[in-house]
Structure formats: structure tokens, C-alpha cells
Homo-oligomer: A and B are copies of this chain.
Amino acid sequence: MSEDRRSAACLAVGSELLGDEKLDRNSLTITRALAGYGIAVDEKRVVGDDVDQIATAIRDLLARHDLVVVTGGLGPTADDVTRDGVARAIDRTISHSEEVERWVRDRYASRGREMPVYAPAMARVIEGSRLLLNNRGTAPGMLFDLRGRLLVVLPGPPWEMEEMLERDLLPELVLWNPGAVRVRRTLVLGGVFESDVEESVRHLYDRFGRENVSILASYGMVRLVLSAEGEEGSARHHLDVMERAFKAVLDEDLAGTDVTGLAEVAIKELRQRGQTLATAESCTGGLVSARLTEVPGASDSFVGGVVSYSNDVKEHQLGVPLPVLVEYGAVSEEVARAMASGVRSRLAADWGIGITGIAGPTGGTEDKPVGLVHWAVAGPGGVWAEHRVFPGDRSVVREWSLNSALDLLRRRLAADAT
């Protein structure tokens, strides 16, 4: 950690976060919130519901970082032992607070429930803590100022954690770290490989610092995250300079700036033109429309779609001619084109997307291996099709297909505008 910036760490507590299903996602929210104050998360940990492990981790992290944010294990059940771990780590006592118990009882009452017998466990308060009330749940959090280092302990449920983070921690940081901010900008690229992006922007690292550029690749989409730190005005200016330099190199592979992905790029572009889109999906099974409708306000531009898993649906709902299905097979350029055109005309949209492929794990043949996907875009000026054999498992092939089709749409929209 460099000396000119504050360093933070996240500790998530909960044995369920050490299984093979659930990840600690709170750290993402915390990282995003802290970045606005020029504070970087330099380390993350997850430990189980064990007093010793929690105490050891907190002690370790407080020795290395200026701010430690602990989430989880504050509830009333027997395995919620974070309070005890915190008290042990910083060598403080715990006592029962009548006032907090009353507050907890009121919380239950306000939802028409009686306070369960085990709930008073949440009214155990650590010496010297500032109590953070939980307006979206019940378990209170706490904040400690330890000679300039901050230790914050928040409940695990994201909905509760987020509100307390914004309300209680962030105002603290304004005082704690005045002036310094970290600003960032995300360039989203479609239709490129991570290694090619890396190759083409490599020479800019020396100029702007390798640590200020992150490349995140996700199967057909690459995100370049640029960041700059310092006093707000100069940081923003520096970021503008940086963005121009990167844009000059990336050229038409650049799909958008500060967008969540290619779906948002498409929705924004369509809305700007007052045009509409419809989708026809086979192997992606609705993933493209699901992604498009994640974008708030998608209904202005996205009219709907057809998921045509069976040939019957391709024929009757999309008007793919039976002879085409028979001659070329369901996974073919001809069918992708007919799906895109069919959904465009049936749903009366300006643009149509068609995707058909073999996502696996079975269903491949020598001619048409698992991973083969055809996609097409139909628009006012014609129909365009592409295909590829994607590597990876079912979910990876679907993700590649989704991004490839949305990228083709974006490029056709851009070409159409010129």
C-alpha cells in the first residue's frame, strides 16, 4: 500500500460463504462506495462463524489497513458470533443494553410480529462502539474509531448493509479523508479478444500507470476501467486526457462509455433514434431479452421476443419456412437470418436479432460441433449474419452468443447512422 492513500479491507463472516454456492457480494458494493472517497480495497477475506477466526482476521486487517469493514454474523441465532469476535479482536467487553432491546422489540412490533425469544442477543453492545441502527432489518451494526483507524461492522443482508453503509459510514469518510477522490470511467468493447486489447493499449501503461487500468473480459465483451486519483478537479481532468488517448487506439471496437454492458449500449442507441428491437432466440433461450430488460426503461425500445426452442415455434411464431429448416437444419445461417427477419416483421420492430446454436453439452455432430452458433441482425437496410464455434461449457457458449449478437447489432446501428 502506498503511503499517500488510505487502504481498506473487507471481511465477510459466515460459513455459508465458504460453501460452493454463495459468494460475498457485499464487498463489491463496499468497494464501489469507498472508491468515491479515494479509498481502495486492498484485501478481502471470508471466514466462518468462529470467534477465534473472526478475531484473528480483524486483528490482522487492522494492523495493515486504515479501514476495515466487517459484514455478517450480527443476527440473533446461535451461529451469529461476530460481536464476540470483534470484542476479542480489540479487547473490549460486551454488555446487554435495555435500550437496544426495546428498539429491537419495536422493530418486530412495527411488522406485526412478536419478538422471538432469541432476539435479545442482538442487544448485546460492545464497549466504546457507536451503534448503527438498521432501518431495513433488525440487527444493529457498529462503528469504532481506533486511534484514526476505522472498524465498521454491518449486517450481512445486502439490502440492510447498503443503507447503513451510505447513511453511517460514508459521511464519516468525508471528514476522514477530505479532498481526495478516485474517479473512474469504463470503456466497453465488443467483438474483441482480451489479448488483442491488451496488446493495443500496452504502450499507454507507461504513460498513465499500469495500476490505473484494469481489463475485465467476459466472453465477447471487454471492459477497460480507467481511473485517476487526487483532488477532484485535477483527477477528472486527468481522466479525460486518459480517455481520449485510449479511445484513439480502440476506435470502432469501443461500444460505449460508463455502461454496464452491450445490452445497455443497444437500448440507449435505439432510444436515441426512436427505433425498436425484437429478439428471436434459440440456444440463448431468452438470455438476450432478459439482459436487455435489465436496463431500466428498456420498454421504450424493446418490444419483446420469441424464444423458439422447438422447430414448431420457429415455424409458426417466427415464420421460418419449413423447407429452410429441413434443408439447412435448425442451426444454420439461413435459419438465423429467417428468425431475425421473422421476429422483426411479426413483432413490427425496426430491428430484429436471431440466434440459433448448439450450447451443449450434447447435440453436436461432426459438421455442427457443440459451440457452433449462428446469429443475425435484420434492420431497415438488410440482414447480416455471423457465426463461430465458441469454446467453453453451456453457460459460456450462451454468454458468447449473447454478446456477439448484441455487438453485431451495435455495429449495424453505427453503420446505419453514417
> Which of A's residues lie within 8 Å of B, judged by CB?
15-25, 27-29, 31-32, 35, 40-48, 53, 57, 60, 77-79, 159, 198, 205, 210-211, 214-216, 223, 225, 279, 281, 283-290, 292-294, 296-299, 302-310, 312-313, 317, 346-348, 360-362, 391-392, 394-396, 398
B53 & A47 in contact (Cβ 8 Å cutoff): no
In-complex Cβ contact of A306 among B31, B48, B216, B306 (8 A): B306
Q: A162: nearest residue on chain B (CB-CB)?
A: B393
A218 CB to nearest B CB, Å: 9
Q: Which residues from chain B contact A45 at a C-beta distance below 8 Å?
A: 43-46
A46 CA to B30 CA, complexed, in Å: 15
Minimum Cβ distance to chain B for residue A412 (Å): 21
Tell me the minimal C-beta distance from A2 to chain B in angstroms: 11
CA distance A297 to B225 in the complex (A): 38
Q: Which residues of B contact A48 (CB under 8 A)?
A: 42-43
A304 and B307 contact, Cβ closer than 8 Å, known pairs A43-B47, A53-B43, A348-B312: yes
Q: Which residues of B contact A211 (CB under 8 A)?
A: 15
Whether B19 lies near A31 (C-beta < 8 A) is yes
Question: Judging by beta carbons under 8 Å apart, are A317 and B304 in contact?
Answer: yes
Q: In the complex the two chains form, is A18's CB within 8 Å of B41's CB?
A: yes
The residue of chain B having its C-beta at the shortest distance from the C-beta of A79 within the complex is: B210
With A and B bound together, what is the CA distance between A287 and B284 in angstroms? 11
On whether the beta carbons of A214 and B19 are closer than 8 Å, the reply is yes
Given known contacts A15-B214, A306-B307, A312-B303, is B42 in contact with A43 (CB within 8 Å)?
Answer: no
- Rounded to whole angstroms, the CA-CA distance of A16 and B41 in the bound complex is 11
Which residues of chain B have C-beta atoms less than 8 A from A28's C-beta? 20-21, 23
